[in-house]
């Protein structure tokens, strides 16, 4: 080949390489890659496989695994009755979970105590199965005297943590059922002037134990300026009372401006002012929408100018489901676990905990809060003895090995 040709060839070759590299990178997108294809292995004689190892395919594998395993999520809804909680849940998940519900009359509710109800439903979409558990708190805020009516809720949340702690410390950890509450949607009345004393009391009791997303129910009671004023008032009150609600994480810095702006807008609209409806309104010429029909107009549930339903659905279901689970596990559950184990701390236990290598093991042996203290102590002492014996044995064996080595050397040198 002439020099020119070489140059051209090389130039072309390099350009080809570039193009193939880009194409190979693009072909890493999950839906395009077929099993068995490794990036650029065939092309340009080996330039490609030096660049790509292939672990960028890990998210793919996780995705496939989690699709197979399925996904479970526990959502709690709390708030006074009559704020549209059930309708909103039905609208969010497009199910009819509350079909057979009977709301008791006022005279029956005079002496009702707070009950905790659980409903489970399996929803499948796009091949992904979600096992959704809804925790309801009927009767909250209804009675004439609502003192301490939030205690059953707190107890319920802590019971789930306790169950998980026990399962985690147990022997069979393969099939742990996660029944911890991952998120609590708290409904605030649009008729009040912000948070009521009962709202504040409830939120303070649960904010360190569960992710709270505050929501204004039946927001079609409010004109736009009233909605803004109410949201601001609630935000101010939350700050004043030092109530920690769920913080939606910052979006990645490499997202484009548009996305960042949208994300900021969504965060600004917390608490979400929502309207729920499972009825489809067919107005003459316009296309059918889910909404509520009044004599003066129709509220469209999925219209961002009418209410924040879309925002809530996007942030809760479409983007942050996993994050809510992670925060529950990494932050709230760990906090509970630390508090729990610390309260069990005895002088002996503290020593054991300081042995970092064995602390995990001893954690499995520490009996959980439910056992009576006398048994706990006995078990701890027994395990202590065992550990010491094992350590002694190890030391002896090490000493023996050293001796035999030394002897071996001696015999070698001899």
Binding site for another protein (CB under 8 A): 80-83, 103, 105-107, 109-110, 142-147, 189-193, 196-198, 201, 218, 220-221, 223-224, 226, 229-230, 232-233, 292-300, 303, 305-306
Q: Taking the CB of residue 57, how many other CB atoms lie within 10 A of it?
A: 15
Please identify, using beta-carbon distances, which residue of 14 and 110 lies nearer to another protein: 110
Please identify, using beta-carbon distances, which residue of 13 and 192 lies nearer to another protein: 192
Question: Nearest distance from residue 278's CB to another protein, in Å?
Answer: 13
Question: Nearest distance from residue 87's CB to another protein, in Å?
Answer: 10
Question: Nearest distance from residue 243's CB to another protein, in Å?
Answer: 16
Please identify, using beta-carbon distances, which residue of 216 and 349 lies nearer to another protein: 216
Question: Nearest distance from residue 271's CB to another protein, in Å?
Answer: 15
Question: Nearest distance from residue 181's CB to another protein, in Å?
Answer: 23
CA distances from 85 to 81, 257, 264, 300, 384 (A): 8, 35, 26, 17, 52
Distance CA 318, CA 316 (A): 6
Please identify, using beta-carbon distances, which residue of 2 and 295 lies nearer to another protein: 295
Please identify, using beta-carbon distances, which residue of 40 and 141 lies nearer to another protein: 141
Question: Nearest distance from residue 173's CB to another protein, in Å?
Answer: 42
**What is the four-CA torsion angle of 403, 408, 413, 414, rounded to 10 degrees?**
100
Question: Nearest distance from residue 106's CB to another protein, in Å?
Answer: 4
- CA 89, 95, 97, 103 torsion-angle sign: positive
Please identify, using beta-carbon distances, which residue of 91 and 328 lies nearer to another protein: 91
Please identify, using beta-carbon distances, which residue of 218 and 313 lies nearer to another protein: 218
Distance CA 71, CA 66 (A): 7
Inter-residue contact 166 to 341 (CB < 8 Å): no
Distance CA 44, CA 126 (A): 38
Distance CA 396, CA 388 (A): 12
Distance CA 291, CA 279 (A): 6
Question: Nearest distance from residue 107's CB to another protein, in Å?
Answer: 6
Which residue bears the tokens 């001893």?
362
Distance CA 389, CA 386 (A): 5
Please identify, using beta-carbon distances, which residue of 142 and 162 lies nearer to another protein: 142
Helix axis angle, 356-365 relative to 373-413, nearest 10°?
140
Question: Nearest distance from residue 185's CB to another protein, in Å?
Answer: 18
Question: Nearest distance from residue 359's CB to another protein, in Å?
Answer: 43
Coil vs helix vs strand at 120: strand
Q: Taking the CB of residue 233, how many other CB atoms lie within 10 A of it?
A: 14
Instruction: Give the H/E segment covering residue 166.
Output: helix 151-169
Please identify, using beta-carbon distances, which residue of 106 and 171 lies nearer to another protein: 106
Which residue bears the tokens 């005279």?
107
234 CB-side CA count, 13 A: 31
Please identify, using beta-carbon distances, which residue of 40 and 79 lies nearer to another protein: 79
Question: Nearest distance from residue 192's CB to another protein, in Å?
Answer: 4
Nearest Cα residue to 291 out of 97, 87, 25, 55? 87
Please identify, using beta-carbon distances, which residue of 295 and 356 lies nearer to another protein: 295
Instruction: Give Rg (Cα) of the chain.
Output: 30
Distance CA 405, CA 62 (A): 48
């Amino acid at each position: 080949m002439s020099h020119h040709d070489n140059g051209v060839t090389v130039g072309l070759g390099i350009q080809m390489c570039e193009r193939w590299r880009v194409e190979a990178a693009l072909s890493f997108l999950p839906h395009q890659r077929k099993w068995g294809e490794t990036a650029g292995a065939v092309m340009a004689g080996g330039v490609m496989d030096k660049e790509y190892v292939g672990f960028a395919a890990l998210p793919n594998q996780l995705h496939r695994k989690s699709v197979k395993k399925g996904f479970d999520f526990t959502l709690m809804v709390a708030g006074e009755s009559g704020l549209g909680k059930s309708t909103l849940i039905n609208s969010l998940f497009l199910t009819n979970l509350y079909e057979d519900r009977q709301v008791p009359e006022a005279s029956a509710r005079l002496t009702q105590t707070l009950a905790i109800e659980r409903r489970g439903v399996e929803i499948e979409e796009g091949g992904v199965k979600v096992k959704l558990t809804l925790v309801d708190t009927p009767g909250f805020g209804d009675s004439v005297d609502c003192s301490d009516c939030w205690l059953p809720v707190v107890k319920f949340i802590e019971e789930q943590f306790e169950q998980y702690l026990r399962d985690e410390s147990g022997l069979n950890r393969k099939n742990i059922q996660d029944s911890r509450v991952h998120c609590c949607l708290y409904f605030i009345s649009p008729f009040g002037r912000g948070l009521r004393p009962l709202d504040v009391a409830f939120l303070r009791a649960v904010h360190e134990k569960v992710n709270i997303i505050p929501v204004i129910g039946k927001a079609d009671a409010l004109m736009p300026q009233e909605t803004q004023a109410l949201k601001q008032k609630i935000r101010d009150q939350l700050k004043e009372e030092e109530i920690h609600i769920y913080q939606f994480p910052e979006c990645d810095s490499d997202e484009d401006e548009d996305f960042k702006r949208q994300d900021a807008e969504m965060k600004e609209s917390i608490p979400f002012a929502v309207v729920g409806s499972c009825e489809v309104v067919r107005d003459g010429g316009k296309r059918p929408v889910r909404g509520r029909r009044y004599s003066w107009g129709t509220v469209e549930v999925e219209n961002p100018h009418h209410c924040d339903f879309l925002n809530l659905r996007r942030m809760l279901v479409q983007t942050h489901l996993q994050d809510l689970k992670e925060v529950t596990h990494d932050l709230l559950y760990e906090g509970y676990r630390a508090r729990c184990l610390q309260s069990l701390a005895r002088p002996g236990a503290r020593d054991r905990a300081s042995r970092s290598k064995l602390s995990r093991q001893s954690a499995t042996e520490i009996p959980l809060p439910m056992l009576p203290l006398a048994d706990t102590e006995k078990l701890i002492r027994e395990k202590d003895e065992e550990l010491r014996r094992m350590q002694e044995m190890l030391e002896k064996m090490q000493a023996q090995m050293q001796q035999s080595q030394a002897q071996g050397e001696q015999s070698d040198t001899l």
